[in-house]
Amino acid sequence: MKLLKKGAEGDIFLTKHENVLAILKTRKKKQYRNQILDDKIRTGRTIRESTVMSEVKEFGVRTPLIYQVDPTDCAILMQRIKGSVVRDLSGKKLVSACREIGKITGTLHKNGIMHGDLTTSNFILSGGKIYTIDFGLSQRTTRIEDHAVDLRLFKEILNSAHVGMMKTLWSSFLSGYRSAVGPVRYGQILNHVSVIEGRGRYAQVV
Ligand SMILES: Nc1ncnc2c1ncn2[C@@H]1O[C@H](COP(=O)(O)OP(=O)(O)OP(=O)(O)O)[C@@H](O)[C@H]1O
Ligand SMILES: [Mg+2]
């Protein structure tokens, strides 16, 4: 088993499942957190992540197949998506990936799910298709406010990870999002993004 990534929450390993390469995602104990609470959080996120990853396939959002879930060890064994994370793309590929991410986000929202961690590292381009990962912070919600928070986070990420292309990428994302949710909902959500940005704590990005 090879360690691919040490994350804030857990580690990602490259391993094998029935002779094909697979990903093992684990969530480590946090010593600074109360043990009972920590177990609850880690187990909850593990179950949520694996459940939502399977559910969203129903409405056409591509995600890795889940092979095994171990709620006690807080581990998920899943299909390895071969490709590159959108964060590592550039130029036209990055622009069209952002449009696709917008469409995916809109599809999730239309079906009452907020992703909760919309960053360009949580989308993988593989064989010309975008796969969505990292659903540990996802929530079932149809509230405008929650959906706007998803958009606002993505905008912030563009401004830090892709600052030179921020405007192009943001409008590309928005056109994809609009195509999925329709003009009325789009207007409401975007309006609310401005409301969030108007609150002192968040400075407006661009
Ligand atoms: N199924 C998968 N196939 C291929 N690569 C994957 C897969 N799952 C995760 N990865 C890789 O591992 C990275 C981290 O995975 P993930 O985002 O699920 O974990 P995380 O601990 O929440 O990380 P972060 O704190 O960076 O969000 C991804 O950005 C991706 O590069
Ligand atoms: Mg991630």
pLDDT in tens, 127-183: 999 999 999 999 999 999 999 999 999 999 999 999 999 999 999 999 999 999 999
List where CATH 3.30.200.20 sits in the chain. 2-79
Interatomic CA distance for residues 97 and 93, integer angstroms: 6
Interatomic CA distance for residues 155 and 8, integer angstroms: 22
Report the chain's mean pLDDT, rounded to a whole number.
Answer: 95
So what's the pLDDT on residue 31?
86
Nearest CA to ligand 1 atom 17: 134
pLDDT in tens, 107-133: 999 999 999 999 999 999 999 999 999
List where CATH 1.10.510.10 sits in the chain. 84-198
Distance 150 CA to ligand 1 centre (A): 18
Residue 117: active-site member: yes
161: tokens are 């990870």
So what's the pLDDT on residue 33?
86
pLDDT in tens, 29-55: 988 889 999 999 999 999 999 999 999
Q: Which band of pLDDT confidence, cut at 50, 70 and 90, is reported for residue 7?
A: confident
* Beta carbon of 122 within 6 Å of any ligand 1 atom: yes
* Beta carbon of 126 within 6 Å of any ligand 1 atom: no
Residue 94 zone, left/alpha/beta (φ > 0; ψ -120 to 50; rest): alpha
Choosing from 70, 117, 134, 146, the catalytic residue is 117
Give the global pTM. Answer: 0.95
Q: Strand, helix or coil at 90?
A: coil
- Cross-strand pairs, 140: 113
Residues 196 and 155 sit within 8 Å (Cβ to Cβ): no
Q: 131-164: b or e for each residue (b if 16 or more CB lie within 10 Å)?
A: bbbbbbebbebeebebbbbbbbbbbbbbeeebee
Q: Which band of pLDDT confidence, cut at 50, 70 and 90, is reported for residue 87?
A: very high
C-alpha pair distances (Å), 47 with each of 43, 53, 80, 106, 192: 6, 10, 19, 23, 30
Helix (H) or strand (E) holding 201: none
Helix (H) or strand (E) holding 68: strand 66-70
So what's the pLDDT on residue 203?
59
So what's the pLDDT on residue 9?
82
2-79 folds as Phosphorylase Kinase; domain 1 (3.30.200)
C-alpha dihedral (112, 118, 3, 18), degrees to nearest 10: 30
Interatomic CA distance for residues 187 and 129, integer angstroms: 28
Domain 84-198 falls under CATH 1.10.510.10? yes
* Beta carbon of 23 within 6 Å of any ligand 1 atom: yes
Better-predicted residue by pLDDT, 63 or 201: 63
